[in-house]
Chain A
Amino acid sequence: MKKQLANVILACFLVCISVLACAEEIVITRSVLAFPEAMLALQESIRAHGYTVSRVQRIDVGLTGMGYKTDKYRIVFAGKIDEIRELTKKAPQLTAYLPPKISIFAEGDQTVLVTINPRLYADIAGDAIDPIIFAHWESDLRSIFHDVSMAR
């Protein structure tokens, strides 16, 4: 009975998340902070949500030389090792997308953060993985983006 109730709640939860977040296969947010401060806020929030920042990759080498007005574009990789191991084992088709990443770049004196909605990973993983893990990721991601957008 408890299990059935939990399943019903999970289903309703996923429906709610889907409806609330519909049209957002790409999740994007903006911070009024300048790039360095926004980057700091992002990494702090990622860690506060229990994830490990595994790497920060520069994408912007030589951008200004090519006529761009910013040279601040990074990719932040993050994850939880237990989850990553479970996913690569049970859903190898997801391996190329792991660890998950967030793009962060300067836009004028503000900063924009962009990433794939983790719900998409559930589509790729198919039945191999309980979608609750991606619902967790989405919830955490939105919370992280909220933290960064509200940071002052």
Chain B
Amino acid sequence: MRWMIGILLLGITTLVVGEPRGGELFAAHCAGCHGDTGKGGVGVPLSLPSFLESVDDDFLRKTIRMGRPGRVMPAFRAISDAQVDAIVRHIRSWSGKPEPVFSDKPRHGDAQHGQQLFVSYCVACHGANGEGGTGTGVTFSRKRDLPIIAPALNNAGFLAAASDEMIRHILQFGREDTPMRSFLVQGLSEQDIDDLVSYVRTFEQQQQHASGKSAVTAAESTIWAESSYTLEETIENLKDAIVSQNFILIRQDTLEHGLVTEGEEDPSQVILHFCNFKFLFEALAVDPRVGMFLPCRVTITERDGKVMVSAINPLYLSRLFNNSELNEYCKKMHAVYSAILEDATL
């Protein structure tokens, strides 16, 4: 009771009275992905001078609020405006320079010509439809083709956060220490750049609202199958089914293994751990947070004479990641789990 009152008071105090400093908020909400000094990781490097010189505070604020649907960066809707401002000030403090100022007036160009330029100059990194590069963040630990992921220009969050002037500035001057080069240096004219901006803006009309959220509800969080075999038979069937799906059986444990002394474990709850390393490596390259799915496993339980097999539903978990690219792997893994359960229990 006392601890509840204590935490309640702490929560109310935090919500009502105190506004933590930007550094503390950044550490709590952002550093996990972007690094404690903004050098990047799962998230892109925010402290890069050429990044901070090319984005205004409004872009940062809107990005925090809206995130990037389907592109890992979540939308932080619950924190206050003051807290968002504090985080933005903290990020800006790394620059040591004043915020760049961009007009919010739209640029007018020839989008059709812009499309031609986009195909010639942008598609290689940003994708044919402006969908951006693959994977997450920078290349500290994982295999990458580029030192920084190319942003998804067709992303609803990006389009809402970036002004025409800001996009124009980035096209004009590029971003040092990233693959983004100045288009003026590459020989394009000011008008060409306006045309490109106009084309990028047409992505809004294409309704490219990519979303990492799936419609799977908590009620479907687990894949289930009732087995018509005994516990032992079901386990053996599962081992065969796992191998037939090109996975390697790693280990058989009780669910209580390691939680109680050996011999006291409930033998009617068994877990089979398995893996397909190629699939694992590919998934890790897409999103290093996929450890939450790992290792692949099925749980077999016997209760009241009934043998049940269950596995996590990757489609349910995929919604947490806000990563459209990962969704494809979750679909594949859902199919694998379903096939294994069906093969072993029917």
- A contacts, CB < 8 Å to B: 6, 9-10, 12-13, 16-17, 19-20, 22-26, 28-30, 32, 52-55, 57, 59, 61-63, 66-70, 73, 75, 77, 79-81, 84-85, 88, 92-99, 101, 103-108, 110, 112-116, 120, 123-124, 126, 139, 149
Taking CB atoms and an 8 Å cut-off, the chain B residues in 29-56 that contact chain A are 29, 31-33, 35-36, 41-42
Q: Is the CB of A108 within 8 A of B259?
A: no
Q: Is the CB of B288 within 8 A of A105?
A: yes
Q: Is the CB of B12 within 8 A of A96?
A: no
How many contacting A-B pairs (Cβ < 8 A)?
189
Q: Is the CB of B269 within 8 A of A95?
A: yes
- B contacts, CB < 8 Å to A: 1, 4-5, 7-8, 11-12, 14-15, 27, 29, 31-33, 35-36, 41-42, 74-79, 139-143, 218-219, 221-224, 253, 255-260, 266, 269, 273, 277, 280-281, 284, 288-289, 291-292, 294-295, 297-299, 301, 303, 308, 310-312, 317, 320-321
Instruction: For the complex, give the distance between the alpha carbons of A103 and B32 in Å.
Output: 13
Chain A residues with Cβ under 8 A from B8's Cβ?
Answer: 9, 12-13, 16
Residue of chain B at shortest CB distance from A70: B141
**Majority SS at the chain A contact face:** mixed
Given contacts A93-B224, A96-B222, 12 further A-B contacts (CB under 8 A): A17-B11, A28-B32, A29-B32, A55-B258, A59-B280, A69-B141, A69-B142, A93-B221, A93-B310, A101-B291, A103-B292, A106-B141
Instruction: For the complex, give the distance between the alpha carbons of A6 and B218 in Å.
Output: 28
Cross-chain pairs A/B with CB under 8 angstroms, 30 sampled: A6-B1, A12-B12, A16-B15, A20-B11, A20-B15, A23-B77, A24-B74, A26-B321, A53-B258, A57-B273, A62-B281, A66-B143, A68-B281, A70-B142, A75-B295, A77-B258, A85-B256, A88-B255, A92-B308, A94-B222, A95-B310, A96-B223, A96-B311, A105-B288, A107-B288, A108-B140, A112-B288, A114-B32, A114-B292, A124-B221
Chain B residues with Cβ under 8 A from A54's Cβ?
Answer: 256-259
B134 to chain A, nearest CB (A): 15
Residue of chain A at shortest CB distance from B260: A81
Chain A residues with Cβ under 8 A from B255's Cβ?
Answer: 84, 88, 95, 98-99
Q: Is the CB of A124 within 8 A of B218?
A: yes
Chain A residues with Cβ under 8 A from B273's Cβ?
Answer: 57
Query: Quick one: given A13-B4, A30-B35, A123-B218, are A66 and B281 in contact (CB under 8 Å)?
Result: yes
Query: Quick one: given A69-B140, A88-B301, are A55 and B76 in contact (CB under 8 Å)?
Result: no
Chain A residues with Cβ under 8 A from B140's Cβ?
Answer: 69, 107-108
Query: Quick one: given A73-B291, A108-B141, are A23 and B222 in contact (CB under 8 Å)?
Result: no
Chain B residues with Cβ under 8 A from A81's Cβ?
Answer: 256, 259-260
Instruction: For the complex, give the distance between the alpha carbons of A16 and B301 in Å.
Output: 37
Q: Is the CB of B301 within 8 A of A92?
A: yes
Q: Is the CB of A59 within 8 A of B294?
A: yes
Q: Is the CB of A105 within 8 A of B295?
A: no
A110 to chain B, nearest CB (A): 7
B274 to chain A, nearest CB (A): 12
Query: Of A20, A116, A123, which one neighbours B14 at CB under 8 angstroms?
Result: A20
Residue of chain B at shortest CB distance from A6: B1
A41 to chain B, nearest CB (A): 16
Q: Is the CB of B295 within 8 A of A57?
A: yes
Q: Is the CB of A16 within 8 A of B7?
A: yes
A88 to chain B, nearest CB (A): 7
Instruction: For the complex, give the distance between the alpha carbons of A30 and B28 in Å.
Output: 9
Residue of chain B at shortest CB distance from A59: B294
Q: Is the CB of B78 within 8 A of A68?
A: no
A115 to chain B, nearest CB (A): 7
Query: Of A10, A19, A85, which one neighbours B15 at CB under 8 angstroms?
Result: A19
